[in-house]
């Protein structure tokens, strides 16, 4: 017979077996992968920039053409991302809340900018919107020019950024609790009140994430823009094209200097957007 102390002793349970290896090994592989793929290339970019003196660096990143390209690149990216937030939400809403003929085809077309080479997208948009294109030939006589200027750049960035917003918001709408909407309707809330006070707070973090991804994607876009932009200095020349031009002139330090500025600005903007997402989750009661 077992003694009372032996019977009262707690039974040690074996820790459940884990599919992945331990935390230290997993963390080591993660850090090694990030260093090889992200940190080492970015550090090489920064170290190459350090070969310039401060005056050389300042002249490289604040030249008139470079400053004009900053304004165009970030301005067009911001406009395109804001447009995608609105229309991406509408597309995601229609795909989630309604059933219609050809829905699967429309759902597949949303991912087309992911699979389509960016150069093909640029050529297609140019053929469509140029003065002799299917759409442009009818708009240019009215004084509306959509190709070879800033308008074409914004349209190209909207095209490549829309899937980021749709695919970020769509699963959140699918998981939304419709009982809350029904309760709000039973309490007398209008459709607009239900959307602004019940639906929108739950999808706002996803919208911010989609906006950040579309904005970051637009800042670095090159292939779909150069065909429709016109690439006129001080008018329709984007910053990635400035970097490519410096590389073709063997000005590697100047190219990395401009790229470093783009990297820092993009990183700061992403940090701000992530901070807004965290603030939104805290105020909505979601786990951070």
Looking at residue 127, which CATH number applies to its domain? Answer: 1.10.3720.10
Range scoring the smallest mean pLDDT among 101-115, 125-139, 218-232, 269-283: 269-283
Average the pLDDT over 101-105 and give the result: 89
Task: Tell me how far CA of residue 9 lies from CA of 6, 13, 16, in angstroms.
Answer: 5, 12, 21
Average the pLDDT over 147-157 and give the result: 90
Nearest residue to 166 via CA among 97, 276, 220, 87: 87
Q: Indicate whether 187 belongs to any domain.
A: yes
pLDDT of residue 31: 86
Distance from the first to the final alpha carbon of the chain: 53
Question: How much of the chain exceeds pLDDT 70, in percent?
Answer: 90
What pLDDT, in 10s, does the model give residues 192-251?
877 777 788 888 888 888 898 899 889 888 888 988 888 888 888 999 999 998 888 888
Q: Indicate whether 156 belongs to any domain.
A: yes
Q: Indicate whether 49 belongs to any domain.
A: no
Mean per-residue pLDDT over the chain, rounded? 83
| Both structure tokens of 162 | 């829309």
Label residue 65 by pLDDT band (50, 70, 90).
Answer: very high
pLDDT of residue 42: 82
Q: Indicate whether 210 belongs to any domain.
A: yes
Assess whether pLDDT exceeds 70 at residue 108. Answer: yes
Q: Indicate whether 87 belongs to any domain.
A: yes
Q: Indicate whether 20 belongs to any domain.
A: no
188-210 as b/e: b if 16+ CB within 10 A = ebeeeebeeebbeebbbbbbbbb
pLDDT of residue 15: 55
Assess whether pLDDT exceeds 60 at residue 8. Answer: no
pLDDT of residue 1: 47
Tell the burial category of 285 from Cβ atoms under 10 Å away from its Cβ (0-12, 13-18, 19+). exposed
Number of domains in the chain: 1
Nearest residue to 265 via CA among 69, 40, 113, 86: 69
Residue 154 makes CB contacts below 8 A (sequence gap 6+) with 76, 79, 80, 83
Question: How much of the chain exceeds pLDDT 90, in percent?
Answer: 21
pLDDT of residue 285: 59
Assess whether pLDDT exceeds 70 at residue 281. Answer: no
Average the pLDDT over 21-43 and give the result: 82
Q: Indicate whether 164 belongs to any domain.
A: yes
Average the pLDDT over 58-71 and give the result: 91
Residue 63 makes CB contacts below 8 A (sequence gap 6+) with none
Ordered alpha helix ranges (H), the chain: 4-8, 23-34, 40-49, 54-61, 64-97, 103-110, 112-115, 118-129, 136-139, 150-175, 178-186, 191-194, 200-219, 223-229, 239-248, 252-284
Domain that holds residue 103: 72-237
More confident residue, 9 or 53: 53
DSSP reduced 3-state for 148: coil
Task: Tell me how far CA of residue 125 lies from CA of 67, 129, 157, 224, in angstroms.
Answer: 27, 6, 11, 8
| Cβ-contact 142, 176 below 8 angstroms | no
Q: Indicate whether 200 belongs to any domain.
A: yes
pLDDT of residue 161: 92
């Amino acid at each position: 017979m077992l003694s009372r102390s032996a019977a009262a002793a707690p039974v040690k349970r074996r820790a459940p077996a884990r599919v992945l290896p331990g935390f230290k090994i997993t963390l080591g592989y993660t850090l090694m992968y990030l260093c090889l793929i992200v940190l080492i290339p970015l550090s090489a970019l920064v170290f190459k920039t350090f070969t310039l003196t401060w005056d050389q660096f300042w002249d490289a990143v604040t030249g008139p053409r470079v400053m004009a390209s900053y304004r165009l690149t970030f301005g067009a990216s911001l406009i395109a991302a804001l447009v995608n937030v609105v229309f991406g939400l509408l597309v995601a809403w229609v795909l989630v809340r309604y059933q219609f003929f050809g829905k699967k085809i429309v759902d597949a077309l949303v991912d087309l900018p992911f699979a389509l080479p960016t150069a093909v997208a640029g050529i297609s948009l140019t053929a469509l919107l140029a003065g002799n294109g299917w759409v442009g030939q009818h708009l240019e006589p009215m004084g509306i020019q959509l190709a070879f200027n800033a308008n074409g750049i914004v349209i190209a960035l909207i095209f490549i950024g829309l899937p980021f917003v749709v695919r970020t918001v769509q699963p959140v709408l699918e998981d939304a609790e419709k009982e809350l909407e029904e309760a709000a309707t039973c309490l007398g809330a209008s459709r607009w009140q239900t959307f602004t006070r019940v639906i929108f707070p739950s999808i706002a973090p996803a919208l911010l994430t989609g906006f950040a991804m579309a904005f970051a994607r637009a800042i670095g876009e090159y292939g779909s823009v150069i065909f429709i932009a016109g690439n006129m200095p001080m008018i329709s020349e984007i910053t990635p094209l400035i970097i490519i031009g410096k590389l073709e002139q063997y000005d590697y330090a100047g190219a990395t200097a401009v790229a470093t500025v783009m990297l820092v600005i993009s990183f700061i903007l992403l940090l701000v957007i992530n901070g807004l997402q965290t603030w939104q989750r805290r105020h909505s009661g979601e786990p951070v």
